[in-house]
């Protein structure tokens, strides 16, 4: 989206409309900055405001409806078809495999990695299983997810058809396919391939495109709210600074007025009491004037 707003142009670009990757990167950047103490108070407050508005926008215009990427569609499919704690073998080390290897453990699934070159799968820090073993027998797994760059199927009906195993879900995210379509004929195998997820994600993308048409007024509103809150933080900081300076000035004045050796130090007790009352009254009026100056400015924002 590109939306004209007062004072400039707001640009929100994503490879997949409505995906959470950019927001996720912002959250991670903010967390890292907090941990390393490289984010000031204003930067933290601004980022947190932006993240809240991003979630509000997603909810208001329906960007959470439907999946727009194959990886998120596959994740949702596995979540809805497998039992909690299911054992899943992931074959491949590409972006989709990496995404699922990160998200599935967060949802309680037991993940084992596999790859033709097994050493490449070690970087995931998860248990490993040799690909040759999986190709011959998926025993011990409730699902096998495969997403490699192989030019021909690496899982074949001939290797599995004589086996008798508990139900196994075979999720093929590769193109060309990593699995022979005929594997769906094996009684205990449920095969789902890329075409299913492409159809689902196209529906999700259509919903998001329709939602995006109505996004402009919400984005403009979000920008205005962000600006008002930023202005309020700036004003609050300025007021605090002014109050601190005024406090320091009055304390210095009071100390000088009654300090030993000052012109006023020789006042008798009655005169000194009157001076202290005058200084106290002056402090009250000064702070009242500061607050009166601040209130019209805040009302005008």
Q: Which residue has the higher pLDDT, 292 or 6?
A: 292
User: 101: domain CATH number?
Assistant: 3.40.50.720
Domain shared by 170 and 273, yes or no: no
For position 17, what pLDDT does the model report? 57
What is the Cα–Cα distance from 141 to 166, expressed in whole angstroms?
Answer: 9
* Domain of residue 274, residue span: 244-299
Phi, psi of 10 (to 5 degrees): -100, 125
Q: Which residue has the higher pLDDT, 142 or 215?
A: 142
Q: Which of 74, 105, 87 is nearest to 174 (CA)?
A: 74
- Say if 154 falls within a structural domain: yes
What is the Cα–Cα distance from 219 to 171, expressed in whole angstroms?
Answer: 38
- Say if 119 falls within a structural domain: yes
How do residues 85-130 score in pLDDT, each as one tens digit? 999 999 999 989 999 999 999 999 999 999 999 999 999 999 999 9
Model-wide pTM > 0.85: no
Q: Which residue has the higher pLDDT, 269 or 130?
A: 130
Domain shared by 92 and 168, yes or no: yes
State both tokens at 115: 């790859």
Domain shared by 181 and 142, yes or no: yes
- Say if 294 falls within a structural domain: yes
Domain shared by 189 and 159, yes or no: yes
> In sequence order, what E strands does 48-142 have?
87-91, 110-114
For position 191, what pLDDT does the model report? 98
How do residues 130-162 score in pLDDT, each as one tens digit? 999 999 999 999 999 999 999 999 999 999 999
Domain shared by 295 and 170, yes or no: no
In this structure, of 4-13, 75-84, 151-160, 229-238, the range with the lowest mean pLDDT score is: 4-13
Domain shared by 89 and 160, yes or no: yes
Domain shared by 200 and 216, yes or no: no
Domain shared by 280 and 256, yes or no: yes
Q: Which residue has the higher pLDDT, 249 or 188?
A: 188
The two beta strands, 8-11 and 87-91, are unpaired
Q: How many residues does the chain have?
A: 301
- Say if 237 falls within a structural domain: no
Asked if residue 251 lies in contact with residue 42, where contact means CB atoms within 8 angstroms, the answer is: no
Domain shared by 278 and 193, yes or no: no
For position 27, what pLDDT does the model report? 82
Domain shared by 172 and 80, yes or no: yes
- Say if 239 falls within a structural domain: no
163-182 burial, b for 16+ CB within 10 Å, e for fewer? eeeeebbbbbbbeebbbbee
pLDDT score of 12 more than 50: no
pLDDT band for position 41 (cuts 50, 70, 90): confident
In this structure, of 6-10, 53-57, 156-160, 183-187, the range with the lowest mean pLDDT score is: 6-10
Mean pLDDT of the chain: 82
- Say if 75 falls within a structural domain: yes
Q: Count structural domains, the chain.
A: 3
State both tokens at 135: 């190709």
Domain shared by 75 and 43, yes or no: no
- Say if 238 falls within a structural domain: no
How do residues 160-206 score in pLDDT, each as one tens digit? 999 999 999 999 999 999 999 999 999 999 999 999 888 877 766 77
Residue located via tokens 């108070």:
41
- Say if 227 falls within a structural domain: no
Domain shared by 172 and 258, yes or no: no
Mean pLDDT over residues 279-289, rounded? 77
Distances (CA, A) of 200 to 72, 102, 127: 10, 22, 31
Q: What percent of the chain has pLDDT over 90?
A: 39
The two beta strands, 87-91 and 110-114, are parallel
For position 297, what pLDDT does the model report? 47
């Amino acid at each position: 989206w590109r939306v004209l707003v007062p004072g400039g142009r707001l640009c929100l670009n994503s490879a997949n409309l409505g995906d959470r990757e950019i927001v996720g990167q912002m959250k991670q950047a903010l967390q890292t900055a907090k941990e390393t103490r490289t984010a000031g108070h204003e930067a933290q407050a601004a980022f947190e405001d932006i993240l809240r508005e991003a979630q509000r926008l997603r909810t208001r215009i329906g960007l959470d409806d439907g999946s727009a990427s194959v990886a998120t569609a596959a994740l949702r499919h596995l979540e809805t078809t497998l039992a909690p704690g299911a054992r899943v073998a992931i074959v491949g080390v590409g972006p989709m495999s990496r995404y699922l290897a990160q998200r599935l453990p967060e949802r309680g699934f037991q993940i084992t990695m596999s790859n033709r070159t097994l050493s490449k799968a070690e970087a995931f820090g998860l248990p490993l299983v040799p690909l040759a073993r999986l190709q011959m027998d998926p025993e011990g797994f409730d699902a096998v997810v495969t997403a490699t760059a192989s030019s021909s199927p690496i899982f074949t009906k001939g290797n599995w058809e004589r086996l008798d195993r508990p139900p196994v879900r075979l999720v093929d995210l590769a193109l060309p396919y990593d699995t022979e379509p005929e594997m769906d004929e094996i009684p205990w195998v449920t095969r789902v391939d890329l075409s299913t997820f492409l159809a689902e994600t196209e529906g999700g993308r259509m919903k998001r495109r329709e939602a995006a048409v109505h996004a402009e007024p919400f984005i403009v509103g979000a920008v205005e709210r962000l600006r008002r809150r930023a202005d309020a933080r700036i004003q609050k900081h300025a007021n605090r600074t002014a109050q601190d300076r005024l406090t320091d000035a009055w304390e210095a004045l009071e100390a000088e007025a009654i300090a030993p050796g000052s012109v006023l130090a020789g006042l008798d007790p009655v005169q000194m009491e009157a001076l202290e009352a005058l200084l106290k009254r002056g402090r009250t009026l000064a702070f009242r004037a500061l607050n009166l100056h601040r209130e019209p400015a805040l009302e005008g924002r």
